[in-house]
Amino acid sequence: MNKDGVKEYIQKTAGGVQQDLLFKRIIIYQQNPLPEAISIKDVIAKLEDRVPRFLCTDIDSIFVGSFDFLKEREIEAVYENGAIFITNEQEDIDDFLADIVHEIAHSVEEIYPSDIYDDQSIEEEFLAKRRSMAEILKAHGYGKFDMGVFFDTEYSEEFDNYLYKEVGYELLHTLLEGLFVSPYGATSLREYFANCFEEFFAGDSYYVRSISPRTYNKIISLQGY
């Protein structure tokens, strides 16, 4: 079943699905239970404390469950058409919180694309890091891709698979420490922004400021500060 089908099915059968509210407006449907150590109410409290309400205006629902379309893509969450779909298979409350905030970032891109990207400040920061990344990978014997791919800001499944399966995110985390918040932030401009946004609200905002100052300032500006 695709995302639209899942969304419609869960909403129609919501009587048998546990529901909660984020910001008294966004319905959280739990089709499958979270681990006992994770309280959805604690997650809601953390989200409402850390993420400004107005940054979530494009979200109307969050679906938590075991979804085949997430497993097939080997991802934990996705945002689309006002809804966040997220796996219930979470390690702890921090991972669950980070996954939701990451998808909130993608919804924010839908609301404020010009504010985020038009001045190209984040793009310039991202591409500078990509150049450094290319040099690091080459120095460690990973030179499969020519330099052109490192100047493409769009997501490439082929490039992501190379980083994930051939280089390995564990090694990348070590090689790119202090350059990207996490290896996934190196896969595209949009993921770079979402990765920084996630760390800003669900992790250490000072770390974002230290390694990605332009993106940090952009997030600050989105909040009206």
Mark whether 51 and 17 lie in a shared domain: yes
Mark whether 98 and 27 lie in a shared domain: yes
Mark whether 130 and 105 lie in a shared domain: no
Please tell me the distance from the alpha carbon of residue 48 to that of residue 217, in angstroms, as a whole number. Answer: 22
Whether the per-residue pLDDT at 182 is higher than 80: the answer is yes
Q: Would you list the DSSP string of the chain?
A: --HHHHHHHHHHTGGGSEEEEETTTEEEEESSPPPTT--HHHHHHHHHHHS-GGGGTT--EEEEE--HHHHHHT-SEEEETTEEEEES--SSHHHHHHHHHHHHHHHHHHH-HHHHHTT-HHHHHHHHHHHHHHHHHHHTT---S-GGGGG--S--HHHHHIIIIIIIHHHHHHHTTTTSSSGGGGS-HHHHHHHHHHHHHHS-HHHHHHH-HHHHHHHHHHTT-
Find the range with the poorest average confidence among 42-46, 54-58, 73-77, 140-144.
140-144
Whether the per-residue pLDDT at 159 is higher than 70: the answer is yes
Mark whether 155 and 216 lie in a shared domain: yes
Q: What is the CATH number of the domain that holds 61?
A: 3.30.2010
Q: Rounded mean pLDDT of the chain?
A: 91
pTM of the model as a whole: 0.92
Residue type, 180: F
Give 16 or 88, the one with higher predicted confidence: 88
Mark whether 153 and 175 lie in a shared domain: yes
Mark whether 42 and 88 lie in a shared domain: yes
How many structural domains is the chain composed of? 2
Mark whether 216 and 121 lie in a shared domain: yes
Look at residues 111, 139, 158 and tell me which one is the last residue of a structural domain.
Answer: 111
* Residue 150: per-residue pLDDT: 87
Q: Please give the radius of gyration of the chain, using alpha carbons only, rounded to the nearest integer.
A: 18
Look at residues 111, 129, 160 and tell me which one is the last residue of a structural domain.
Answer: 111
Please compute the mean of the pLDDT values over residues 11-36 and round it to a whole number. Answer: 83
Mark whether 96 and 121 lie in a shared domain: no
Mark whether 133 and 178 lie in a shared domain: yes
Find the range with the poorest average confidence among 10-14, 44-48, 67-71, 156-160.
10-14
Whether the per-residue pLDDT at 70 is higher than 60: the answer is yes
* Residue 3: per-residue pLDDT: 61
Full domain range(s) for residue 74: 3-111
Q: Report whether 2 contacts 69 (CB < 8 A).
A: yes
Look at residues 92, 111, 130 and tell me which one is the last residue of a structural domain.
Answer: 111
**Could you read off the pLDDT of 95-105 as tens digits, one per residue?**
999 999 999 99
pLDDT band at 161 (very low <50, low <70, confident <90, very high): confident
Mark whether 137 and 90 lie in a shared domain: no
Mark whether 107 and 73 lie in a shared domain: yes
**Could you read off the pLDDT of 97-133 as tens digits, one per residue?**
999 999 999 999 999 999 999 999 999 999 999 999 9
Mark whether 167 and 85 lie in a shared domain: no
pLDDT band at 12 (very low <50, low <70, confident <90, very high): low
